[in-house]
Amino acid sequence: MNNNKTAILRYLEANHQQHLDIKAALIDMDGVLFDSMPFHTLAWKRLADQLGIEANRDEFYLYEGMTGVATINLLFRRHCGKEVSVEEARELYKIKAEYFRNSGPVDVITGAHDVLSCLKRSGIERVLVTGSGQPDTLRRIDEEYEGLFEPHLRITAADVKHGKPNPEPYLMAQQRIGAAPTQTIVIENAPLGVEAGHASGAFTIAITTGPVPKQNLIDSGADLVFDSMPEFAQCLPQLIEDFRNTSL
């Protein structure tokens, strides 16, 4: 039996389903569609340095998906044992966002366009699910991924109260598209995002597109992990077949 089938059977069993009827893919943005994480982690490191808070750039890959305010308070709790007010955290987050904006245009993730096109050809709806409110990056969705995300099928920072690992963004996406959790797949790259996808009840696929080890993604609850986006793009047609043809 191939890996896909083993993972699908395990998921069916855990979710008390006989068969899957996947209607929609809920797709994260940073690190899945755009290679923006190196700029984000650098911007966070610059802010931490400016505040005199000791931090390591790579640790910010692990916080990916948290709200900016939550990340700032994580730093302050560690640094001095207490949080700052929400207002102060928002002001500090503006500085980080400014550093990010000044980093220059981000690249698209190689293979992501093929993944989205394959989903579309297979009749699987695509919903964008991101905690990001970066207007420049969001605008680029229409340039780089034209016709692949309907305007009403986008959940962004403007919609959600809680960041990942809270499942809220994915639950909201399932509601928006009118699909049960087990009729959706989540495509993620970061541990907290995988945790949110898994907690929403979706079949959660993780792609390693940064320095986070594969094991972290498995430990966070990924049903399947791929080593790169081109590898996932290549395996996706078979995976969709396996979704359709595997039953308990």
Residues that bind Ca ion (CB under 5 A): 28, 30-31, 189-190
Choice between 30 and 35, CB closer to Ca ion: 30
Task: Give least dist CB 182 to Ca ion, A.
Answer: 23
Residues 6+ apart with CB under 8 A from 234: none
Choice between 206 and 233, CB closer to Ca ion: 206
DSSP type of residue 105: P
CA distance 85 to 12: 44
CA distance 217 to 192: 9
Task: Give least dist CB 89 to Ca ion, A.
Answer: 21
Task: Give least dist CB 74 to Ca ion, A.
Answer: 17
Choice between 28 and 125, CB closer to Ca ion: 28
CA separation (Å) from 127 to 22, 58, 149, 181, 236? 13, 28, 7, 13, 17
Choice between 119 and 217, CB closer to Ca ion: 217
Task: Give least dist CB 65 to Ca ion, A.
Answer: 6
- Report residue 206 as tokens: 């993780």
Gyration radius from the chain CA atoms: 18
Which is nearest to 177 in space by CA: 23, 39, 44?
23
Task: Give least dist CB 161 to Ca ion, A.
Answer: 19
Give CA angle at 28 (26, 33), nearest 5°.
115
Task: Give least dist CB 33 to Ca ion, A.
Answer: 9
Which is nearest to 129 in space by CA: 97, 96, 162?
162
Choice between 128 and 239, CB closer to Ca ion: 128
Choice between 84 and 196, CB closer to Ca ion: 196
